[in-house]
Structure 1
């Protein structure tokens, strides 16, 4: 991988993480319902994808997706199921900071790499290395400690890590891990998005409305930067940089007034060790010569 390409990938990943953190903050401070903010994000994102069709690469990406979808009938219902999953996750991303679940959301994104390992193994019989099993075991201990000290683990954290893990794994195994897939999902979500904007409480001030729309544009840009980084970087480095986002979400949750308790500190510490082990395993796998 050329150095310039690697540097561009790192910058793209960091830009995406910062933008996601900024959107998370806006969702927590703008006086609009999570449904309205979700709706505006989907509408603006779809407009950006529509503009991309004016370019040759955009039309080629759409043609590639269409060819894959029409090659097997079962991919259509899979796309619908993926749309439901990603739509629910994007709504939850707007809902969590407005209702005091920002820390739980950041925990869910930290647990996501662990959940991806488990879902890949349990549903698709993918190989799991020894270090990955160690990381999974440490993460399990973290969850047990959380339950023992706090009495529960938020449904928000589990909802994010489990549903997203299923989504990403199905997306890859169905052959739908393509640049235009998210545009198709956004198109399918458009009726829901428009309904939310029309019938749920939006921002009460002009500045709030501008913030809602700005968050939509930031979301489209962040997703583009994120997908761009995934194509420019090797999987280990891309995976490691993806941990920046939940750390920023953690900071944003504190800025929004949420409090960190002892169980949270223990859980985050254990997860940091587990994620470090996953990062080491990823770099080892990338440096191992292919046969």
Structure 2
């Protein structure tokens, strides 16, 4: 096996591991006897501890130095970092809150729409080229959501909060050059003043098993994010983008396991989105022809 093939295999395994861990976390958050605030708080604390341990390595210190250089470039960069922290913090709280409150399907729909939203963000704000197949996928997704609105007069706020909120988050990170390996760790550190009171004062797990599950989910989240970032470095972007669709599919399955049910219109909507994602997948494979995997992590 060549070095490039080895990187690709490692990248695919890392991406699938991240998706499975995120899916397992989503399920745990739906069944564990703890509040979303307590779950969120423990995830932040565990993540900070893991990132602090990473600073022992030379790569970790180099990544922190890169972030510090960007933050020193302008006084308002710190303000942007705090805003990014608030945005991603809300998303991680929402990830913990939705499965236990009957919004798991709406959350999975938001994550399924996120790739479409990112295509539009790239075109409108970064003047990136959008292929014909990507436009076809966008049109299909718009038709799916339009049908849901037309026949139900509403789409859950959770769906829009995820697909639009995350799209704006990624757009701001990229525009301000804060799309760096150490940025997420810094964002979580900023969230600690919120996370610690959540753990101390929010309703916690009622049983020892529940408390263990919450902390385990925190470690799973850190491992999943590490695997996700590893995959992003090892894989060509088209293949990496395709594999990120596994997570919302698993979330959709988890929603059904948690007892949520599809109606006839939902089947049509999710069916159309499946077609849209298939179109994006075909476009990704076409774009990846002749491309090679990115070299291994720093």
Q: Give the TM interval when normalised to the shorter protein.
A: over 0.9
| 1:2 partner SS | helix
Shift of 1:118: 1.4
Cα distance in 1 between the residues matched to 2:120 and 2:204? 39
Question: What is the aligned counterpart of 1:11 among 4, 7, 13?
Answer: 13
1:75 and 2:63 aligned = no
Map of 2:93 onto structure 1: 91
Equivalences for 1:50-65 in 2 at 5 Å?
A: 50-65=52-67
Preserved contact between residue 44 and residue 191 of structure 2 (Cα < 8 Å): yes
Cα distance in 1 between the residues matched to 2:190 and 2:128? 30
Shift of 1:72: 2.5
Map of 2:238 onto structure 1: 236
1:184 and 2:205 aligned = no
| 1:54 partner SS | coil
Cα distance in 2 between the residues matched to 1:117 and 1:89? 20
The runs of 5 or more residues in structure 2 that have no matched partner are: 292-298
Equivalences for 1:130-279 in 2 at 5 Å?
A: 130-279=132-281
Equivalences for 1:108-147 in 2 at 5 Å?
A: 108-147=110-149
Shift of 1:149: 2.7
Shift of 1:86: 0.4
The runs of 5 or more residues in structure 1 that have no matched partner are: none
Shift of 1:281: 2.1
Shift of 1:165: 0.6
Cα distance in 2 between the residues matched to 1:122 and 1:84? 24
Shift of 1:129: 2.4
Preserved contact between residue 239 and residue 288 of structure 2 (Cα < 8 Å): no
Aligned CA RMSD, in angstroms, stands at 1.5
Count of matched residue pairs: 290
Shift of 1:288: 6.8
**Mean CA deviation greater in 97-106 or 274-283:** 274-283
Q: Deviations over 1:34-58 (max 9, x none)?
A: 0110000000000000011111111
Cα distance in 1 between the residues matched to 2:279 and 2:75? 40
**Mean CA deviation greater in 145-154 or 26-35:** 145-154
- Give the TM-score normalised by structure 1: 0.96
